[in-house]
Amino acid sequence: MLYLSKFASAAIVAISAALCLASPTEADAAMAKKKAKVSTARVAARNIKHIRSVDEVEPAHVSFGQMAGLHSTPDALSLKSGVALVLDQDTNEVLFSKNSQAVLPIASLTKLMTAVVVTEAKLPLDEALTVTQDDVDTEKHSRSRLKVGTQLTRGEMLHLALMSSENRAAHALGRHYPGGLDAFVAAMNQKAQELGMADTKYVEPTGLSSRNQSSARDLATLVKAAHGHQIIRELSTSPEYKVAIGNRQMQFRNTNMLVRNPTWDIGLQKTGYITEAGRCLVMQAQMAGRKLIMVFLDSAGSHSRIGDAERVRKWINETNPTANAVAVPKVTS
């Protein structure tokens, strides 16, 4: 009997323990519920943080032209650029126009004016210039292959600024101008005024600032003026270029793939990109027996400005239009 009693007692204890494990107490249930709430709250917090991060970043991906609705403007060639202008260099006939009076950030198209000011100042191209910390981009934090301390001649800096859109090279050119950077920017704006570029303003020589702004019509004027300088024509259309940096030979390539296309006859070109400006391109090119100036601003895709140039070339070669050959929508800027 004693044995059975002990056995029964042990069995009761075991069953009680099992029941305790299978059915948690109210305290255990409350604790589990609290942990679940904390876990859910943490996931929600992470999601909210991610959403806030996206909200903070997304507006930066919208260009000024997109915010102004320029991409909704229809055009006869279905271009992907928010702004476009094609004109005859010799006669100034406007063959195609889309939002050509809109004033927008112009990114590295700025460097064309930088080159014009440097060239017309007749500064020695063999003078050695040094990249310093002052030339490092603190606005967009863009990268550069020209490290602080790099020494190149003014001519080499000009070549890299025009061909591969080297920001530190362009900034160094402005900084080594007589009177310094402020005097250089003043000279840029003065030249714009002389050319009648009333929609244009420069605040620095690289184009990294969205406050460097212009219109397609003004930029066509700049392209025509820059084309008058042989050195700018040659350097801007150079497919590639090697420079000696220390003990190394470093090769740079043109940012415009069309200069390597044998079916194009390009006399001058410059590309540009910052988020606020979208993808930009200006060119002087010969086609259908004419010298044309083309301006494309605020193109959304990475290759769409090139696609737009090809669409214009196809249209020109097929129709050789006059100023009134295509019904171009009238657009207010």
56-92 CB burial, b ≥16 within 10 A, e <16: eeeeeeebbbbebebbebebebebbbbbbbbbebeee
Q: What is the CA radius of gyration of the chain?
A: 31
Catalytic residue among 165, 215, 299, 304: 165
Q: How far is CA 48 from the centre of its chain?
A: 30
7 within a domain of the structure (yes/no): no
52 within a domain of the structure (yes/no): no
From residue 25, alpha-carbon distances to 19, 35, 79, 213, 286 in Å are: 10, 15, 70, 71, 87
332 within a domain of the structure (yes/no): no
Catalytic residue among 81, 97, 98, 111: 111
Region label for 321, one of left (φ > 0), alpha (ψ between -120 and 50) or beta (otherwise)? beta
36 within a domain of the structure (yes/no): no
22 within a domain of the structure (yes/no): no
From residue 5, alpha-carbon distances to 9, 12, 15 in Å are: 6, 11, 15
280 within a domain of the structure (yes/no): yes
* The model scores a pTM over 0.85: no
CATH of residue 221: 3.40.710.10
158 within a domain of the structure (yes/no): yes
Output the tens digit of pLDDT for each of the chain's 333 residues. 433 344 344 444 444 444 344 444 444 545 555 554 444 444 344 443 332 322 333 344 799 999 999 999 999 999 999 999 999 999 999 999 999 999 999 999 999 999 999 999 999 999 999 999 999 999 999 999 999 999 999 999 999 999 999 999 999 999 999 999 999 999 999 999 999 999 999 999 999 999 999 999 999 999 999 999 999 999 999 999 999 988 899 999 999 999 999 999 999 999 999 999 999 999 999 999 999 999 999 998 878 999 999 999 999 999 887 644 443 443 333
Q: Helices 167-175 & 180-194, crossing angle to 10 degrees?
A: 100
- Provide the residue range defining the domain that includes 241: 70-319
Identify whether 108 is a catalytic site residue.
yes
Q: What is the DSSP string of 232-271?
A: HHHHHT-SEEEEEETTEEEEEE-S-GGGG-TT--EEEEEE
204 within a domain of the structure (yes/no): yes
| pLDDT per residue as tens digits for the range 32-65 | 555 544 444 443 444 433 323 223 333 447 999 9
Q: What is the DSSP string of 209-222?
A: STT-EE-HHHHHHH
Catalytic residue among 108, 215, 236, 299: 108
Identify whether 142 is a catalytic site residue.
no
Identify whether 165 is a catalytic site residue.
yes
CA distance 203 to 184: 10
**How many domains does the chain contain in total?**
1
